[in-house]
Amino acid sequence: MPEPLKSKDKHGAPFTRPPEIEACLARLESVDAVARLQVFAITSRKSKGYVPSEALTHFLRRAWAVGAQSEFKQIFELLMKRVGQSLCSTISDSRMAGAQSIREEIIGRLAERIAKDCNGRFAMLDFFEVRFDLALARFRKTVLRQIGPTSVVTVPLSTDGDEGQDISLEVEAAAADFLGGAPEKIDDPAFRLELDAAIDALPDDQRRVVGLLRQGFQIDSKDPNIMTIAKMLKCDERTVRNRRDRACKTLRAALQEDA
């Protein structure tokens, strides 16, 4: 039986991993460390025998706890490689100036968090054992906001030579859908990535307003029972509208530059 997670929910029960991760851990516990390291080295998600990173995180922590130093270092290196590869697609050289050093900084900071966890002070690593990709996405965004890309290089949205004017109208419409709480209307993953990056780069107050609008919250309401953006951000609804307008202007400008 894999050891339960240390962090607990508000009822005092430990958080649980998804059943497929639990099953994977149980399977890997029955083989020795050498065999485990072999399967951990498989990096393609499509390959047979690929082990999810949640499991690598678990065995990394376990190796530390039992003092298996060599195993720990090897899993650490494999995990960092995976993290580096995953970051390559979200922080690609074509999209961001100095992408490589930004990626290295994120990996380095994650390494420090792991050290903190080894010293028993970073419970957040539990989340990496439950939903690795999501946890990493959050970690990446947090670090990016702290270090901030020096400049964002953007790539054309379309590679098949469409003319700018068409794209710009398309962008406007898409941005409107997006901010109007219908992100599913945007199915172009490249565009979503651009828009996400542009939103992420907004100042905190504007980013929060945009983020909440995307989740479908309303700015203001006469009904005191309805949770509104103004209420959540503890400010006047006019302030919220101002922030939204400023954010839209910035986003439009950022996305039109691409077109």
Partner 1 sequence: MSTPKPFAADEESVLMAFSMEPSHGRETLERYIREYPQHATALIDCSIDLLHEPPADDVSATVVSDSAVAKAWQRFERAAQQPNAEVANPFAKLNQTGFKSLARSLDVSNLFLMRVRDRAISAATIPARFVEKLASELGATAHAVGAYLQGPPGMVSGHAFRSSVKPSVGEQITFDQAVATSQLTPEQQATLKALSG
Handedness of CA 161, 164, 166, 168 (dihedral sign): positive
Query: Residue 67: which region, alpha, beta or left (left: phi > 0; alpha: psi -120 to 50)?
Result: left
Q: How many other CB atoms are found less than 10 A from the CB of residue 234?
A: 7
Q: Which is nearer to partner 1, 138 or 166 (CB)?
A: 138
Q: Where are the alpha helices (DSSP H) in 120-223?
A: 125-130, 132-147, 164-179, 189-200, 204-214
Q: Which is nearer to partner 1, 168 or 196 (CB)?
A: 196
Contact in structure between 106 and 135 (CB atoms under 8 Å): no
Contact in structure between 132 and 52 (CB atoms under 8 Å): yes
- The whole-angstrom separation of Cα 54 and Cα 133 is 9
Q: Which is nearer to partner 1, 192 or 246 (CB)?
A: 192
Does the footprint of partner 1 cover residue 68 (CB under 8 A)? Answer: no
**CA 44 and chain centroid, separation:** 19
Q: Which is nearer to partner 1, 152 or 233 (CB)?
A: 233
Q: Which of 10, 67, 94, 159 binds partner 1 (CB under 8 A)?
A: 10
Does the footprint of partner 1 cover residue 114 (CB under 8 A)? Answer: yes
Q: In the range 206-225, which residues lie near partner 1 by CB under 8 A?
A: 207-208, 211-212, 214-217
Least separation in angstroms between residue 30's CB and partner 1 is 26
Binding part of the chain for partner 1, among 28-36, 40-48, 169-177, 238-246 by CB under 8 A, reads: 40-48
Contact in structure between 6 and 126 (CB atoms under 8 Å): yes
Binding part of the chain for partner 1, among 24-32, 78-86, 148-156, 250-258 by CB under 8 A, reads: 78-86
Contact in structure between 6 and 123 (CB atoms under 8 Å): yes
Q: Which residues bind partner 1 (CB under 8 A)?
A: 7-12, 15, 43-46, 73, 76-77, 80-82, 84-86, 88-90, 103-104, 107-112, 114-116, 118-119, 123-124, 126-127, 130-131, 133-135, 137-138, 141-142, 183, 189, 192, 196, 204, 207-208, 211-212, 214-217, 227, 232-234
